[in-house]
Amino acid sequence: MAHPLYDKLIEQHLKILEALEYDSGLFAASKKGLNTGYDKAWLRDNFYECLAFRVLGDTATVQKTYRAILDIFKKHEYKIDYAISKKPEHTHQYIHPRYHPETFDEYWEEWGNKQNDSIGCILFELGTLEKDVPGTIVTSDDDRRIVQKLVWYLSTLEYWHDADSGMWEENQELHASSVGACVAGLKMARYIEGIEVPEDLILKGETVLREMLPRESKTKFVDLALLSLIWPYAVVSSEEATAILENVEYHLLRDRGVIRYKGDRYYNANEDGWSEEAEWTFGLSWLSIIYEKQGNAEKAKTYLEMAKATVTKKGLPELFFSNSTKYNENTPLGWSESLFIVALHEFNREHIALGTK
């Protein structure tokens, strides 16, 4: 039988995650009303936040979220049409990565809005849901029209060599994590009835990915975002996965999380603003999930225990300041809560239920 402690933790953190959902079905990145802006809804964050509900078998919640996401694209279809007809020249012409969670309006301020991986991840999940249960989300001609336009959008961008702001919404360059997300999304989109995905559109991305890995980009040798290529996207070979994991663990792993990359200035605690990177809690759960899926129960449990140690009275934070027990105000972070739930569930299901420790 399942471990009662893990079941209790899943129940507790599921309630925290559920509290971030708006009536529309979209999730805030963090708690509602937060003045950091994390009360908004990001496409990418909603993708990761929904992974917990998917592994727990709550398809109704996942369906509601992705219905809302399709409605967002329909509301801004004119913008997608323009970007398909001519590759955007300015960042505001790209599909935005974040929206008002109730009105579905864009936020116009500059926020590294050019994020190709945010489209890749949505295509990936839509395809995954349709592969598992056809007709789950993409149920009408309007739905199929919008999804097909997302495919053509990535084609017009020539995503395989299109510099974007990446997972962390920062400087524009070619990111392996963005290219990989698009490859994964296009592969899964082929499982959606009526959607056309030319094979060369995928092959171009795979070719570039092979050339880039295990680097994230020209300026970043290793980056936390690369873990996405191992899970959930599964677009790397076993050798590439090993190299990514070794690099992340050697260069980025810390006591209370995983830094995003060397020299990260976001919530940097050091007076020089450069040398002490913040420690992101979801990196620990991410590593646990990956090692669990690779069959390494010992390392999976090690990282799960490290993740458990980062839980606060308010839930899992976005990050801890370097070498500190102080965490930032984006607590709880939906992405952190979701990956923690997935890590607990996967380890519990595969090992505790089998009577192992």
The pLDDT tens digits along the chain (357 residues) read 457 778 899 999 999 999 999 999 999 999 998 888 899 999 999 999 999 999 999 999 999 999 999 999 999 999 999 999 999 988 888 999 999 999 999 987 776 789 999 999 999 999 999 999 888 899 999 999 999 999 999 999 999 999 999 999 998 999 999 999 999 999 999 999 999 999 999 999 999 999 999 999 999 999 999 999 999 999 999 999 999 999 999 999 999 999 999 999 999 987 777 679 999 999 999 999 999 999 999 999 999 999 999 999 999 999 999 989 999 999 999 999 999 999 999 988 765 544 444
Classify residue 244: in a domain, yes or no: no
What is d(CA 145, CA 19) in angstroms, rounded to the nearest whole number? Answer: 32
5 & 78 share domain: no
Last residue of a domain, one of 205, 236, 267: 236
pLDDT of residue 119: 98
287 & 257 share domain: yes
Last residue of a domain, one of 207, 236, 265: 236
Return the bridge partners of 312, or none: 315
166 & 279 share domain: no
85 & 198 share domain: yes
Last residue of a domain, one of 187, 211, 236: 236
70 & 175 share domain: yes
Classify residue 121: in a domain, yes or no: yes
DSSP state string for 23-58: TTS-B-SSSTT-TTTTTSEEHHHHHHHHHHHHHTT-
Classify residue 177: in a domain, yes or no: yes
What is d(CA 198, CA 54) in angstroms, rounded to the nearest whole number? Answer: 28
How far, CA to CA in Å, does 148 sit from each of 81, 84, 157, 284, 345?
11, 11, 14, 35, 34
73 & 115 share domain: yes
Classify residue 129: in a domain, yes or no: yes
Number of domains in the chain: 2
Classify residue 289: in a domain, yes or no: yes
206 & 257 share domain: no
Return the bridge partners of 164, or none: 173
Classify residue 243: in a domain, yes or no: no
Structural domain including 274 reads: 1-20+252-357
Classify residue 340: in a domain, yes or no: yes
Tokens of 217: 């980009």
54 & 16 share domain: no
44 & 14 share domain: no
94 & 11 share domain: no
97 & 190 share domain: yes
Task: Tell me the one-letter amino acid at 346.
Answer: E
223 & 355 share domain: no
CA-wise closest residue to 60 among 133, 145, 142, 153: 133
Classify residue 31: in a domain, yes or no: no
Residue 36 and residue 30 in contact, taking contact as beta carbons nearer than 8 Å = yes
pLDDT of residue 138: 95
Contacts of 141 (CB under 8 A, 6+ apart): none
